[in-house]
Amino acid sequence: MSLHELTDDQREIRELAKRFADEQIAPHAARWDREHHFPRELFAELGELGLMGVCVPEEHGGAGADFLSYILVLEELSRADAGVGVTVAVHTSAGTLPIIAHGSEEQIAQHVPPLASGQELSAFALTESGSGSDASAMRTRVNGGTTITGAKQWITNGSFASTFLVFAKEGGRASSFLVRAGAHGFAVTREEEKLGLNSSSTADLVFEDTPAERLGEPGNGMHVALRTLDGGRIGIAAQAVGIAQAAFEVATDYAKERNAFGGPIARFQAIQHKLAEMQTDIEAARALVWRAARLKEAGLPHTVEGAQAKLFASGVARRHTGEAIQILGGYGYTKEFPAERYYRDAKVTEIYEGTSEIQKLVIARAILGEAMR
């Protein structure tokens, strides 16, 4: 999909995100990765530009742009630093938008403006040690309808969020709740050491009779979670496209500059074929992501299309970050170049917000329906 298919507003937002990413994120990304530094101050700056609430309505403190504009921002941020990209993705898709979709007027007025401005961060707390892909197996429970007890694992933004969307069992069914950082019985117990995305926060949480504010109807938690993930997967697919684009750019520049056997290695057909396949796959992934984003913005079904975008884009990111390392040769295996960081960052896009195997299951159910039972 080409840029001429975008509106003037979408191109302007994309260019704003690209410029900020190139100037304020990319120069620091290697250090943030090396030091495992979470750049908290950066998100206030993004908030001032309207990029922490791109698709949040203006009346709630956001920029009021469409969902595709938000997806364009995620790709550009992730091209510079995938850790920053996932922080914004989870904050927006999984933390802020569900409050707008399922919250009361009072909840929206209280929680959304500080999130949309970047003054606060949000998190989505669904996964537990015994319930990943099988989210219905969660053990966190509701106590008398007003407090929750349990533990959550691998929560993006967990150490820095102020508002948490938390899911807990209530009478055999899941319900959704909002929990504020600092609430009684709530604690961050561990910050995870990860293969990649080292500039993002991934934490374990515990709740002990923690006061929780109900979001939506009792027993409607899985509906809230699945609807949230349908949109969130499009954001992760955009993150994967951004990582792959970054790898493609560093590989292309290196192929033009690296001399071997009397000239640049870009002369060799093996290198040319790798780059041609990389660019083609990235464009195909981008097209799937934009299609899913446009369907969501139009209020049309997008579960399958989001799954297809995430399945394909995450695979492209993993494969072609590896190809970028291959093109750079020994340099690709060192931290002198960012290709190895892209490779480490890419893998998780096949895992979180629904593994590739779960995406295939979603797509297969749409194809086969009752025949799968």
| Residues annotated catalytic, as ranges | 353
Q: Left, alpha or beta for 180 (phi > 0: left; psi -120 to 50: alpha)?
A: beta
Cβ 129 vs Cβ 206: under 8 Å: no
How far is CA 366 from each of CA 68, 113, 308, 309, rounded to the nearest angstrom?
24, 37, 11, 15
Angle between helical axes of 339-347 and 303-328 (0-180°, round to 10):
150
In three-state secondary structure terms, 282 is helix
Among candidate residues 183, 134, 316, 186, the one with its CA nearest the CA of residue 240? 316
Distance in angstroms (rounded) separating the CA atoms of residues 207 and 188: 9
Distance in angstroms (rounded) separating the CA atoms of residues 101 and 122: 15
Distance in angstroms (rounded) separating the CA atoms of residues 80 and 64: 24
**Residue pointed to by tokens 């069914």:** 173
Write out 59-96 in H/E/C secondary structure. Answer: HHCCCCCCHHHHHHHHHHHHHHCHHHHHHHHHHHHHHH
